[in-house]
Structure 1
Amino acid sequence: MSGASTRLQKLFEGHRLTPTQRRIAQCLVRRAGDAPFLSSVELAELAGVSQPSVTRFAVALGFDGYPGLRRHLREHGPTGTEDAGPPAGNSYQQAIHAEIENLRMLAAQLADPVPVAEAGALLAASRPLPVLGLRAASAQARGFAYFAAKVHPDVRLLDEGGTMLADRIDAAVRAGASALLCFALPRHPREVAAALDQARTAGLRVVTVADSAFAPVAAGGDILLPAAVGTGLAFDTACAPMLLGRALLEAICDQLPEAQARLEEFDARATERGLFLE
């Protein structure tokens, strides 16, 4: 994460923000280089909110109003070319450059490996391990569960909503689950928030891979691992959440002494069955 983005993230953390205010915060983090120079009208347009919402956001952060927030951003803003604007190019190239920046932010975030290691230990110890991801996040959950099942003895994929979702969470709890992994990407389904509330009430520790530290499905007791999504195309791109999921898998493998033996056993059986072309 760039220096300006990190400073903004720390400024917003610890404040109880409404969904609209989280949207403004996310916009400022994405536009960290421009943030000190945006008027309240410009910020409102970029975030897709009303101008009074921007004022209320600044007050929620402890400032008298938006001018006070902008003055703070200018006094603690970037220097030099720390946050240069997006590279030139067509819309496809710009989307890819933005996604590369998301990966750079994730790499900087993982300079502190402790949160991922702690999450890996929790998830590795859970028997079974429920993995939740609905709608846009279902692909992330399914990919994670596919690989996790190669090293973890009991992975339960929860990628469909509806009335059965609560039953499946209850079943996981009865079977001995101690933690749940959730992939939460925009737009955030109400069902995800309800499912996570149910899991927390049942005593499960929740690890959430989300698009932002301000994701509306997160709660105070969760381990929240943010990874930004790309928004430059008609549909969001999620390279950083996918890669963060793979890092979590690595952390889980580190906690499972039998992981390498399981992988070698799978490879041997795959060779015997001629499972793959190569």
Structure 2
Amino acid sequence: MQTASRVLELFDGQRLTPAQRRIAQCLVEHAADAAYLSSGELAELAQVSQPSVTRFATALGFDGYPDLRRRIRELVADAPARTDERDEQNEVQRAVLAEAANLSRLAATLADRAPVEEAGRLLAASRPLPVLGLRAAAPMAAYFGYFAAKVHPDVRVLDAGGSALADRLEQARAGGATAMLAFVLPRYPREAHDALREARDLGLSTIVVTDSPVSPVAADADLTLAAAVGSRLVFDLHTAPLALACVLLQAMCDAAPTQTQSRLEAFEQSAARRQVFLP
């Protein structure tokens, strides 16, 4: 519906918590009635607390929920009757299509390949290579680490916080590490930020994959590579950061082609001998 599309634009690009996203989804799904819901009714509909609704409104820049509701009423009143293809899409379709737009923006930034190529050189040269990813970014670090280990002799995935994280950074530096790759995605764990600062204090070059060039961790990175995170569902979509991780893997391979070829051939021979994969 046209009204749903207009209401959705209120939240587009906003950094919201999972509870706040449930509220946003309820407003979009019930756009025609949303302008007349009390904060209590909306809280019950979204299965959140009433104060959560108030915090949601202020997070969007409104004075409170009544102010947000007035804005929704204006959107409902001004919505034209005509519909187009986008208006007929449901919220899940719009979320997925928004990821296509994030990929397009990433592709545009890659017109300048210098930052990625520089990152590839730094990562390929570091022995060992620590790869940091905490909380939501842990699977991204694991994914990168799995494939990087096929072309790099010593990849160390750092996916757990606590005091041991600083120990592992010191051990990597003592072992000869010269750079660290960090995936730091919303909601930006404090421990990841602290680890970046620790890595820089140890003398490591820090390459950070995050969602924006102005994310809270960018100031502590020697090289920031940004890929937008989808925020239209309850939990983030990491399509563009994952694509960027694959681009970085390619850059590592390009930076050390001889090593890459020999290690890949050795892996294939080992995998065939051990029958790792189905024929």
TM-score (norm 1): 0.70
In 2, distance between residues paired with 1:137 and 1:119? 19
Contact 1:140 1:242 in 2 (8 A): yes
How far does residue 172 in structure 1 lie from its aligned partner after superposition? 0.5
Residues 187-266 of structure 1: matches in 2 within 5 Å? 187-219=187-219, 222-256=222-256, 257-266=258-267
In 1, distance between residues paired with 2:263 and 2:152? 9
In 1, distance between residues paired with 2:139 and 2:124? 21
How far does residue 50 in structure 1 lie from its aligned partner after superposition? 3.9
SS in 1 for 2:219: coil
Contact 2:124 2:152 in 1 (8 A): yes
* Gap runs ≥5 in structure 2: 1-10, 16-54, 64-84
* Gap runs ≥5 in structure 1: 1-23, 29-43, 53-84
1:123–1:133 distance in 2 versus 1, CA, 3 Å: same
1:221–1:181 distance in 2 versus 1, CA, 3 Å: closer
In 2, distance between residues paired with 1:90 and 1:124? 44
In 1, distance between residues paired with 2:171 and 2:187? 27
Aligned length: 209
Residues 45-64 of structure 1: matches in 2 within 5 Å? 48-50=59-61
1:149–1:209 distance in 2 versus 1, CA, 3 Å: same
Residues 20-169 of structure 1: matches in 2 within 5 Å? 27=14, 48-50=59-61, 88-169=88-169
Contact 2:271 2:277 in 1 (8 A): yes
In 2, distance between residues paired with 1:138 and 1:264? 28
Q: Which amino acid aligns with 2:260?
A: A
TM-score (norm 2): 0.70
Task: State the Cα deviation string for residues 25-57 of structure 1 (Å, max 9, x = none).
Answer: x649xxxxxxxxxxxxxxx988925469xxxxx
1:272–1:136 distance in 2 versus 1, CA, 3 Å: same
More helix by share: 2
Contact 1:27 1:46 in 2 (8 A): no
Contact 2:196 2:221 in 1 (8 A): no
Task: State the Cα deviation string for residues 204-237 of structure 1 (Å, max 9, x = none).
Answer: 1100000111111122652000000111111001
Is 1:182 equivalent to 2:193 in the alignment?
A: no
Q: What RMSD over aligned residues (CA atoms) do the two structures have, in Å?
A: 2.5
Higher mean displacement: 267-276 or 165-174: 267-276
**Identity rate, percent:** 51
